Amino acid sequence: MRGAGRSLAGNVIVYDVTLRDGPQGEGVNFALDDKLRLFRVLESLGVAYVEGGWPGSNPKDRDVFLAMRGTGRRRAKLVAFGSTRRAGIRAGADANLRLIAESGADAACIVGKTWDLHVADVLRVAPGENLDMIASSVAFLRRRMPEVFFDAEHFFDGIRNDPEYALAALGAAVRAGAAAVILCDTNGGALTRETGEAVELVRSRLPDVLVGIHCHNDAGMAEANTVEAIRRGAGLVQGSLNGFGERTGNADLCTVIPVLELGLGIRCLGRRNLLKLTNASRFAYELASLPRRDFQPFVGASAFAHKGGLHMAGISRNTATYEAFRPELVGNRRRILISELSGRASIIARFPILARNPARQREALSEIRRLESAGYAFENADASLEILILRLLGRYRPAFEVQSFRSLSEEKRDGFCLSEASVKLQVGREEFHTVSEGPHGPVSALDLALRKALVQAYPFVEELRLTDYRVHIVNAQAASAASVRVVVQSRDGRDGWGTVGVSENILGASFQALVDSYQYQVMRRGGPILSRSRKRRQADAGKR
């Protein structure tokens, strides 16, 4: 890679650090199998280099490299990470360097000090000794591995404090055989202009060396600084999916890559691989057991969500009026949110069946505004909204009718709390009365009782799973007499949907949301769903 200058073939090289830097973030943890699965996702995304971990830091990271040895040819290069040799010993005697060399990785990345403050206060060695630690470590690995990268730790602090020493550290790595030098804003405090100026300075001093950028997000500038570094001549970007990383995280590749590809026309993954970005982001959240960030640019659920009536009027005529990029380019989708802020354009876009019926449009908007003033919210309750519109159109045919429900909770002497619920409902001419109990509270007991009754008429309700349950206080000033809004998210293996209930009784609100969820599932299997296209409805009918 030496002599590549800006980048290989004029493209920006994507180097992912999710597997190594990601678990340094609070709440992020990947099991061994998770790391192997995520490597394959990154590989299919077209990432050039994937940092698998630090073989000398913990058994799990060492096991990643052992497990990868038998997986056959890799499209993405696996990188082993580590630090320069310890002070006072030869590189060949450093156990961590030997583990990197023996890891079976395709490349190595060595982090070294470039800020004189760290050399004096952390390493506590002479400046010249630190430069030799960098050079000897890179040289040791270069003799044993095809490629060695140098992570210039705290480079922007170093160049601010003593630019010549920071540049000397880069020079030591390059002369020892480093394939690239990656400028790290380790503390995350650099600003955009100084980032760009530092990159240009390095490019002028080391014109034939590939320069990379690695930014942390402590000042909220990681993505902006990364893009500016690329614009000023860096040819390799280090970052992580969803910005996972220490403290406030790393530069988010899910933002940086689309900005470079779609905004600046700089190829990173290619347009075909860009289509996989949203799914890759969500897969990483799932493996990390973290909730998705809806407001995340490009890949978040709200990235292309439109709520205001004025915005929807523009979007309905030309999507470019309120979208900088098209959602399908990153594998995302446009969402039309219906609320009290919506206008006729929103209703028509969400429910085309109303397009030629102005009276029903007005009626729908009036009813939505009335319900939202009473505490309902339909942004995350698409299924309840569709049921509402069906009712207004006179097309709602409920799969079942609830006659009554009851819930009791009892605390035993040993502190164990048991909840019991009973449900009476009618399906056609048949009536069902079921009772369920369990240790997980009254809402769970109600769900079990409802499911027990419905499964006798609709066996497929066994597939339904509640994936989220949230309670919101509508009018907190009413204290314990306040109304509550309950939003339930459900999945059945095919799709997901949300439902809502509002009541002064939390069990009443919960039961409303649960009933809507089951009603909607049955409709999906047999009844009219307004949000589906005619082609989709016909296809679903063919499957049945």
- Residues 497-516 have pLDDT tens digits of 999 999 988 999 999 999 99
| Position 5 confidence tier, pLDDT thresholds 50, 70, 90 | very low
| Position 266 confidence tier, pLDDT thresholds 50, 70, 90 | very high
Same domain, 517 and 416: yes
For 370, counting Cβ atoms within 10 Å of its Cβ (0-12 exposed, 13-18 middle, 19+ buried), the class is: exposed
Tell whether 170 is covered by a domain.
yes
CA distance 341 to 335: 15
Nearest to 280 by CA among 330, 233, 231: 330
Nearest to 12 by CA among 217, 235, 205, 224: 235
CATH assignment at residue 38: 3.20.20.70
Over residues 139-149, the mean pLDDT reads 96
| Number of domains the chain is built from | 3
Question: 518 by DSSP, 3-state: which?
Answer: helix
Nearest to 214 by CA among 260, 172, 176, 256: 256
Q: Is the model's pLDDT at 212 over the cut of 90?
A: yes
Q: Is the dihedral of CA 167, 49, 35, 91 positive or negative?
A: negative
Please report how many Cα atoms fall inside a 13 Å half-sphere around the Cα of residue 297, on the Cβ side: 15
Same domain, 359 and 507: no
Question: 492 by DSSP, 3-state: which?
Answer: coil
Q: Is the model's pLDDT at 237 over the cut of 90?
A: yes
Six token digits for residue 508: 């009443």
26 contacts: CB under 8 Å, gap ≥ 6: none
Last residue of a domain, one of 373, 393, 418: 373
201 contacts: CB under 8 Å, gap ≥ 6: 159, 163, 167
Tell whether 381 is covered by a domain.
no
Confidence (pTM): 0.72
Residue 19 · residue 243 · CB < 8 Å: no
CA distance 213 to 465: 43
163-175 and 127-142 are packed helices; what angle lies between their axes, rounded to 10 degrees?
30
Q: What is the pLDDT of residues 447-481, one digit of tens each?
A: 999 989 898 888 888 888 888 888 988 877 777 77
Six token digits for residue 182: 């990656």
470 phi and psi angles, rounded to 5 deg: -130, 140
Which pLDDT does position 169 carry in this prediction? 96
The DSSP bridge pattern shows strands 417-427 and 430-438 to be antiparallel
Tell whether 417 is covered by a domain.
yes
Q: Which of 220-234, 261-275, 297-311, 382-396 is the least confident region?
A: 297-311
Q: Which of 163-177, 279-293, 344-358 is the least confident region?
A: 344-358
73 contacts: CB under 8 Å, gap ≥ 6: none
Last residue of a domain, one of 373, 389, 422: 373
CB atoms within 10 A of CB 531: 16
Q: Is the model's pLDDT at 312 over the cut of 70?
A: no
CA distance 446 to 514: 9
DSSP secondary structure letter of residue 250: B
Residue 371 · residue 364 · CB < 8 Å: no
CB atoms within 10 A of CB 388: 21
CA distance 130 to 140: 15
Same domain, 247 and 339: no
Same domain, 124 and 271: yes
Which pLDDT does position 6 carry in this prediction? 42
Tell whether 387 is covered by a domain.
no
Looking at residue 544, its amino acid is: R
Question: 490 by DSSP, 3-state: which?
Answer: strand
Tell whether 3 is covered by a domain.
no
Could you tell me which residue, 248 or 538, shows the higher pLDDT?
A: 248
Looking at residue 446, its amino acid is: L
CB atoms within 10 A of CB 410: 10
Tell whether 379 is covered by a domain.
no
Which residues on neighbouring strands pair with residue 501, listed in sequence order? 486
Same domain, 279 and 327: no
Six token digits for residue 503: 């009541």
Which residues on neighbouring strands pair with residue 356, listed in sequence order? none
Structural domain boundaries, residue 365: 305-373
| Position 531 confidence tier, pLDDT thresholds 50, 70, 90 | very low
Residue 346 · residue 336 · CB < 8 Å: yes
Six token digits for residue 386: 């569709």
Residue 521 · residue 488 · CB < 8 Å: no
Same domain, 427 and 487: yes
Nearest to 136 by CA among 83, 176, 166, 170: 176
Same domain, 432 and 329: no
The DSSP bridge pattern shows strands 180-185 and 210-215 to be parallel
CB atoms within 10 A of CB 139: 17
Same domain, 315 and 246: no
Nearest to 253 by CA among 292, 215, 199, 219: 215
CATH assignment at residue 532: 3.30.160.270
Tell whether 413 is covered by a domain.
yes
Same domain, 347 and 422: no
Mean pLDDT of the chain: 87
Six token digits for residue 111: 């982090």
Same domain, 356 and 476: no
Maximum average pLDDT range among 141-155, 349-363, 422-436: 141-155
CA distance 135 to 177: 8
Same domain, 86 and 226: yes
Over residues 56-68, the mean pLDDT reads 86
CA distances from 43 to 180, 273, 479 (A): 21, 10, 53
Same domain, 99 and 193: yes
Tell whether 369 is covered by a domain.
yes
Which pLDDT does position 528 carry in this prediction? 47
Over residues 230-253, the mean pLDDT reads 96
